Amino acid sequence: MRLRKSSITDRTLLMMIIVVLIQSVIFAATLLNGDIVEKTNQNAFDTMNEKVTNRRTYLENDMIQRWSNLESKSVMMTDKIIAYLDEQQLTIDELAKNTSAAVPLIDAVSEDIISILRTNQVTGAFLILGNDNSDNVQTNGIYLRDMDPIANPNDNSDLLCLRAPASITEGLNIPLDIYWNPQFQFNEENKSDIFYYRVLSVAAQNLQAAHKDLGYWSSSATDSNGVDVILYTLPLLDHDGNVLGILGVDVSLDYLKSLMPSKELNSNASYLLAKITNQTAQLEYIAASGPLYTNIFHSEPTVSILDKTNYINAFEFETEENNQVYGNVQLLSLYNTNSPYADDSWVLVGLMRGQDLKFFTNELYKSCLLASLLSFAVLFGVILVLSRSFTHPIRKLAKEVKNFNPNEPVKLNPTNILEIDNLSSAIEELSRDVAETASSFGRIISMTSYPFSAFEYYTDQERFFCTDQLLATIGIRDAQLQIKNKEDLIYLLELLDKQYPSTRVDNQIRIYRIADDIDHKQRWIRMHIMKEANHIYGVVENVTSEMLELHKAEYERDHDVLTSLLNRRAYTEKMNKLFKQHDQLKVAALVMSDLDNLKYINDTFGHDCGDDYIRLMANVLKSSYPPQHSIISRISGDEFFVFLYGYDSKEEIQKILGEFEKNMNECVWKLPDGSFSKLRATTGVAWYPNDAIELTSLTKYADFAMYRMKHTQKGSLYFFDQEEYENDAYLLQAKEDLNKLIDQEMVAYQFQPIVDAHTGEVYAYEALMRSKLAAFMNPLDILRIARAQSKLYFIEHLTFFKAMEDYVKQPGYEKYRLFINTIANQVLTAEDIAEFSAKYSDYLPNLVLEITEAEKLEDRPAKEKRRLVDKWHAKIAVDDYGTGYNGESVLLQVEPDFIKIDRSIVHNISFDENRQILLQNIISYCKENHILIIAEGIENELEMKTLINAGVDYMQGFYLAQPAYELQDISEQKKQLIREYYETK
């Protein structure tokens, strides 16, 4: 039976309609039955959290790294003030009150104030002289204002002077503000002046605090010029801790709001900068951008959090009207945990209406239905048009083929498709006139062994010619590709241009690289095409041997013979070229690795073994780093450079670096003596553009990071740190101070009580080192310099002997235990132990050796410390548990009698559920293993109550008692509180 013929258009249209209908049914079922609404809400809140987190990070970085970066300037100004006072034989009070006496000094520091304005990009910078904290203060100083900190003209024309003697402003050529006054005036009852009195008070009460921890951020206030600002102030202290003045900057709220673009959340949203205290769920307004805060909260000074949501950092806020407002709350880490201002918490809040956040969810069903109907209609129209367009060339071809002069008979089978059958009939009619054509030139070429072929055709005729070996010369093995007419030849030439890479030699000659799909070998052909009017002819040559020789020479020039990695010349050339195209770099990292122990392997097992070691490193690099976004090179004997580029974030590169470290750790090879060794290399990493944007600096920083780790912990990966790089100069300067401190024992010890969490009675004291040299602000500075100078042992010796010497002078010392800090990787010599044991034999059972977290504890020091404690019948403690190197492995190494919970866990534990869970896990482990728990760093009553309820054994912190040079008890009031909380927990 003969089948009914149908057109391609009909069949295609029917199939496409069926597919679209099936897709619509599946989509509708998925939408109705899936958990799409909740996922949509989750996505909205996650997007809001990501944007607020990014904005928080940006603002926090400005506040900490730029605006409040006054440490170096404060040291410089302090030195100038001290020198001036000594030179003029003045007191600081006389300098603060006597304007004529202060003018030379103010003139000397004025350029520093201008430098702060330019460098820190703030709207104001000032220096207040003196330390008068009376009710009404009038004092000398200088205060300059720049309302546009981004613009920096060559002169000072953009600045205004708010406070300074008139003679100073004339010399600086800075115009006076309309509210100018020659001196500062402060009143204790003026809210805008509170910062002045608080900075003086805190500095006087915290003489032992690190200088940078005395920096204070004060919330928004209106200065005497009517400008709303936030302030950062830092007291200037002499060597005895006396306040010489206050250095500060201000940031106007208008400028601050420009850094909180609420439109990135929503056109109706707001960013709110606020303060939050530990005891309340209210936010105190500092600054807000966007319309939402004004429209909903009417610029109230405080707003209240109503409830916590199930989404990350998201809270619902209390509003007067029936408005649902959500806020994403992000904490700004402005202070160190040891800062006197650590409880002043600032937060950045992204505020959005509930209807804006969930708008997409509410419109989802309606939009999906509309989209389904619209897509069906559009697809139907597109299918109809495409189907007819698809058949049009076939019908046209059927008509055109009738005019061709075929040269071979063709018989096509019927397809029962109208258009194709029409085409087949036309081709069959044309095939009756087919005749063979040949070229004598082609036959001659086919008889030669030289690998070349030729072709020609006319643009205005159907005549064409090509040699039989054309496809073989080109190297395309496609059984369906045959050269039967001019169109086939043109198609072949177009295929070469589209699918195969080529290099243009000149306007007529081009070299193509052909990859064989069967044996995967590469071949190169040279095609020379000439055009004369309507006549086009060409010659094709196989030049594979010639190109292979050229590539071999180039490869040997650019690659290391041993590892096949790029050599220094090729690496430098590629990097210089890449750094001229910054848009390709995006986020990048220079990774510099130095092979460890190569000299030892060469000296012990021979250079052949060393070569194997180098090749093993090269193989790890090749397998770890993706070739499409990396440049891998062997720069010298044991140095390898890898440049990773073209990534969108640091996290992507860090994941690749993690894979590199994993491959390194898993790489084990067999040495000639039959033993096995791990592959080890020390690696430094510098980031583009965060650390540097030009290649020389980036290389220098990666080299610094690598060699810093080389001298501390070989075989590890380390990221460049700008602060450590700058501190290298400090390390050199502090070398002599460290020698003086050790030789002359320039330290004293304060003692802080450790209190029983059940009774409130003092159980023990911890000995805390205090330097008598101004070069060292705290014990961490001493340890850092000693580590760099390989003198940690001398600090260990000094700690044991000097701490005990100061302690035994205290009345009643024998009633308490003494906690002495001991460096994890240091052990006293047998002679020193014998001397210490003989001198303090009666007190040894009351000692507790407290292992610090700054150094890694290795097996030998761990065993020696444990043996020493057992010999003395003393105790052992792990300090700052949860930070540094003091983690679970230390508990297993030393089996301590005490662990001290670090301040980072204790801080804000009353409001942080994650900290509470972590503490409970630690307590549970310790109770099971009979380890006593000491919570340190307690700074308020709420933290103390939470820790007692949690079940700690002992407590320590500024709230209970500050360190002192004499043994002190805590107050009876606090003892009573401890007993009450313990009895009612």
Phi, then psi, of 928 in degrees rounded to 5:
-65, -30
Higher local confidence (pLDDT), 893 or 567: 567
The 10s digit of each residue's pLDDT in 628-669 is: 889 999 988 889 999 999 999 999 999 999 999 999 889 988
329: left (phi over 0), alpha (psi -120 to 50) or beta: beta
CA–CA distance, 779 with 313 (Å, rounded to integer):
37
The 10s digit of each residue's pLDDT in 161-201 is: 999 998 888 888 889 888 899 999 999 888 888 889 999 99
Q: Which residues of 414-452 are buried (b: 16+ CB within 10 A; e: fewer)?
A: eeebbbbbebbebbeebbeeeeeeeeeebeebeeeeebb
pTM to 2 decimal places: 0.41
The 10s digit of each residue's pLDDT in 43-80 is: 888 999 999 999 999 999 999 999 999 999 999 999 99
Mean local confidence (pLDDT), 102-127: 93
258-361 shares its CATH topology with 558-720: no
- Output the pLDDT for position 439: 44
Checking if the pLDDT of 399 tops 60, the result is no
CA–CA distance, 734 with 728 (Å, rounded to integer):
10
The answer to whether the beta carbons of residues 800 and 829 sit under 8 Å apart is: no
Checking if the pLDDT of 543 tops 70, the result is yes
- Output the pLDDT for position 94: 93
Query: For the structural domain made of 558-720, what CATH number should be given?
Result: 3.30.70.270
CA–CA distance, 769 with 965 (Å, rounded to integer):
11
Scanning 34-70, the segments in alpha helix (DSSP H) are: 36-61
- Output the pLDDT for position 280: 64
Q: Give, in order, the Cα–Cα distances in Å from 112 to each of 81, 116, 126, 143, 248.
A: 13, 6, 10, 12, 12
The 10s digit of each residue's pLDDT in 557-598 is: 888 888 989 999 999 999 999 998 888 899 999 999 999 888
Checking if the pLDDT of 28 tops 70, the result is no
Mean local confidence (pLDDT), 317-321: 79
How are beta strands 639-647 and 630-634 bridged, if at all?
Answer: antiparallel
Q: Give, in order, the Cα–Cα distances in Å from 453 to each of 172, 328, 441, 496.
A: 84, 72, 10, 15
Checking if the pLDDT of 435 tops 50, the result is no
- Output the pLDDT for position 546: 80
Return mean pLDDT, the chain: 85
Choose the CATH number for 67-257 among 2.40.50, 1.10.1330, 3.30.450, 3.30.310: 3.30.450
Checking if the pLDDT of 857 tops 90, the result is no
Classify residue 821 by its DSSP letter: E
- Output the pLDDT for position 10: 67
- Output the pLDDT for position 27: 67
> CATH fold of 258-361, please?
Beta-Lactamase (3.30.450)
The 10s digit of each residue's pLDDT in 768-796 is: 999 998 878 888 888 888 887 788 999 99
The answer to whether the beta carbons of residues 617 and 595 sit under 8 Å apart is: yes
| Residue 956, token pair as written in the block | 């320590």
Checking if the pLDDT of 434 tops 50, the result is no
SS3 266: coil
Among residues 209, 256, 210, the alpha carbon closest in space to that of 232 is found at 256
Instruction: Report DSSP letters for 848-879, one per residue.
Output: EEEE-SSSPPPHHHHHHHHHHHHHHT-EEEEE
- Output the pLDDT for position 604: 86
Residue 8: how many CB atoms within 10 A of its CB? Answer: 16
CA–CA distance, 491 with 939 (Å, rounded to integer):
82
> CATH fold of 456-549, please?
TATA-Binding Protein (3.30.310)
pLDDT bin (cut points 50, 70, 90) of residue 708 is: confident
Higher local confidence (pLDDT), 350 or 706: 350
> Helix axis angle, 71-88 relative to 99-120, nearest 10°?
160
Mean local confidence (pLDDT), 260-276: 91
Scanning 840-961, the segments in alpha helix (DSSP H) are: 859-872, 888-894, 903-906, 913-928, 941-950
Higher local confidence (pLDDT), 298 or 328: 328
- Output the pLDDT for position 444: 52
Choice among 19-23, 133-137, 203-207, 248-252 with the minimum mean pLDDT: 19-23
Classify residue 157 by its DSSP letter: T
Q: Is 27 exposed, middle or buried (0-12, 13-18, 19+ CB in 10 A)?
A: middle
CA–CA distance, 772 with 780 (Å, rounded to integer):
14
Mean local confidence (pLDDT), 365-386: 72
> CATH fold of 745-773+792-984, please?
TIM Barrel (3.20.20)
- Residue ranges covered by each domain of the chain: 67-257, 258-361, 456-549, 558-720, 745-773+792-984
Higher local confidence (pLDDT), 298 or 982: 982
